[in-house]
Structure 1
Amino acid sequence: MSAGLFWAVLGLALADSLNPATIVTITLILLTVPRRPVASALSFVLGAFSTVLVLGAIIFLGAGAAAETVGDGLVWLRRIVFLIAAITLFIAAVRRLKDRERKGIGLPSWFGVGTALPLGVLVTGADLPNAFPYFIAIERMIDAGITTGAGLLALAGYALIYCIPCLVLLGLGIAHGERVRLRLQKVYDRFATGTIERSIPTALTLALLGLGVLTIAFWP
């Protein structure tokens, strides 16, 4: 792997690691799970790590094989990923055109140490279609023609970086306990209650970003 590709994949992984879905779940575990929260959080993170690595490997190997038989296979992979991202931005823009009550979120009733791992798989898998840095990284690795071993090793590193914010948050929760939980509770209350007011500037910004991403999707 070249230095340029290494730094590109690293940057994409760092951007992708700031994932609200997984970070919020770790926050909820620390705030609401009374028994063995650390074990539950680690199990959840393992589920997230496994999903990013396994799905990435499937896409990397499958798209690589497709690229050998279909010349524009990677182009269509890029178009699909960016099209999903553009649609997500357009939906977010429309939602900012009216006031909405924030809805509190919580863990499912069946959550526990034994079910934290599959929940990590579900949460991460459901969010990956929006994680376009993930697909860009895979596309660049395939386009660079790196070996299978190097690609899988890079995906393992990507999956680890993806989980770093969750692990840092968990580490702070273990080290500082109640102080961290009080701060997390304040943040949670702020973003889980009240009203999201309509914002035309925000809606326009999201729509323009969506148009930009759509342009990238169908750029020759």
Structure 2
Amino acid sequence: MTWELGGTLLGLAALDSLNPATIVAIILILLGSRRHPIGEALGFVFGAFASVFLVGLAVYFGAEAAAESITGALTWLRRGAFGLAALVLFLSAARSLRTRRRSAIELPDWFTPTTAAGLGIIMTGADLPNAFPYFIAIERLLTADVSSTTAVLVLVAYGVVYCLPCLVLLAVGLNHGERVVTALRRLFEQFGTEATLPPSPKRALTLFVLGLMVLAIAFTI
């Protein structure tokens, strides 16, 4: 495990942590919880961490087993990781070119700390196929040929970094009163309410160019 690899993985985890779905979920809990906002928020964060860690374990050890049993598998795993990342970016670019309807995010009546953890697992797990930094990070681990123990510890650290923005948001929201709550309400109204999203050629072009760059990496490794 080198400093260069550690810095790369930290950067990927930090990029992956800027996930609007999980951040908006924490904002919604802070604004709309009627019983246990702290417990529900922590339950959601724990579920998100569990999903990132457990899926990472499954992908890492499954890919490692394939690499050991199939000649040249590691090369194709690397290409697959970057190819999947490029595909996600291309699909996101295509979606940005059409009008989209965003559904509102609301807390159900049965929301408790326990069900919040389950929701964190489901929401994060459903979003992981779009998290291209996640698969690139696992690919970096595989190509670095680190020990299994090191890989597990790295995946734990990745999950912690992934959850940091939610934990920071929770701490700030609980400690700084109405001013922060007002700011969070504005943020939620921007990203968490029902809305019709117009086409964005600028966003589409940015995602498309980024996808081409990632695809080029896939074909040159």
Instruction: Name the TM-score, length of structure 2 as normaliser.
Output: 0.88
Q: Deviations over 1:76-121 (max 9, x none)?
A: 3333333333333333333333444554322344322220111111
Taking a change above 3 Å as real, the CA distance of residues 28 and 202 of structure 1, as seen in their structure-2 partners, is same
C-alpha displacement of 1:29: 0.7
In 1, Cα distance between the equivalents of 2:158 and 2:55? 12
Q: Deviations over 1:138-164 (max 9, x none)?
A: 222221111111111111111111110
Q: Residues 31 and 185 of structure 2 are in contact (CA less than 8 Å); yes or no, is this contact kept in structure 1?
A: yes
Runs of 4+ in 1 over 6 A off after TM superposition: none
Find the counterpart in structure 2 of residue 198 from structure 1: 199
C-alpha displacement of 1:61: 1.8
In 1, Cα distance between the equivalents of 2:101 and 2:50? 35
In 1, Cα distance between the equivalents of 2:59 and 2:95? 32
User: CA RMSD for the aligned pairs?
Assistant: 2.1
- The reply to whether residue 16 of structure 1 matches residue 9 of structure 2 is no
C-alpha displacement of 1:182: 1.2
Q: What are the ranges of 5 or more consecutive residues in structure 1 without an aligned counterpart?
A: none
Taking a change above 3 Å as real, the CA distance of residues 185 and 8 of structure 1, as seen in their structure-2 partners, is same
SS in 2 for 1:218: helix
Find the counterpart in structure 1 of residue 111 from structure 2: 111
In 1, Cα distance between the equivalents of 2:74 and 2:107? 37
Q: What are the ranges of 5 or more consecutive residues in structure 2 without an aligned counterpart?
A: none
Count, aligned residues: 220
In 1, Cα distance between the equivalents of 2:125 and 2:101? 27
C-alpha displacement of 1:198: 2.7
C-alpha displacement of 1:71: 3.0
Q: Residues 49 and 160 of structure 2 are in contact (CA less than 8 Å); yes or no, is this contact kept in structure 1?
A: yes
Taking a change above 3 Å as real, the CA distance of residues 3 and 95 of structure 1, as seen in their structure-2 partners, is closer
Q: Deviations over 1:164-214 (max 9, x none)?
A: 000000001111232222111112223336553333333233223233333
C-alpha displacement of 1:60: 1.8
In 2, Cα distance between the equivalents of 1:198 and 1:143? 39
**Where do residues 151-190 of structure 1 align in structure 2 (5 Å cutoff)?**
151-190=151-190
Instruction: Name the TM-score, length of structure 1 as normaliser.
Output: 0.89
